Amino acid sequence: MKPVHYLLSAALMFTAGSAFADMAKNPISVHVLNLQTGVPTAGVNVELDQQQGTQWIKLAEATTDAQGRIPALYPQGKAAQSGIYRVVFKTGDYYKSTGQQTFFPEIPVMFKLEKTDQHYHIPLLLSQYGYSTYRGN
């Protein structure tokens, strides 16, 4: 193998390793896949909220990357706390930006974060008129 190939391979492993390290440190990640096209959905704004009493407190907001992922949604430098959370996928804004209609202007997904040492991955399988979600890994 040529030296350039070694450098490229090392760079790719470092980049992938950094992404996995971010996910390992950060307790919450999301992934949006388009069910109609079968490809990741880039450009979806996602909000993370934590329930405190009867109110929702916004903790973070980010946009899915080219792979449809947000690998680290929980606020950096803040220790994970158990409790009720929700991720709100701003699907109406996304579809409006693509010139398409959708039935769901937002998709809120509520979940309980119980074990602060675990990673919580929330995938969203999305189409204009339907969706599915589950706890991923």
| 86 labelled ligand-binding | no
Q: For residue 31, what is the domain's CATH number?
A: 2.60.40.180
The reply, when asked if residue 31 is annotated as ligand binding, is: yes
Burial class (CB in 10 A: 0-12, 13-18, 19+), 42: middle
Range of the domain at 109: 3-133
Structurally, the chain folds into a number of domains equal to: 1
Written as tens digits, the pLDDT of the chain (137 aa) is: 454 444 444 444 544 444 444 445 899 999 999 999 999 999 999 999 999 999 999 999 999 999 999 999 999 989 999 999 999 999 999 999 999 999 999 999 999 999 999 999 999 999 999 999 999 98
pTM: 0.81
Residue 25 is predicted with a pLDDT of: 81
CA dist 132 to 33, 57, 63, Å?
10, 25, 19
135 annotated as belonging to a binding site for a ligand: no
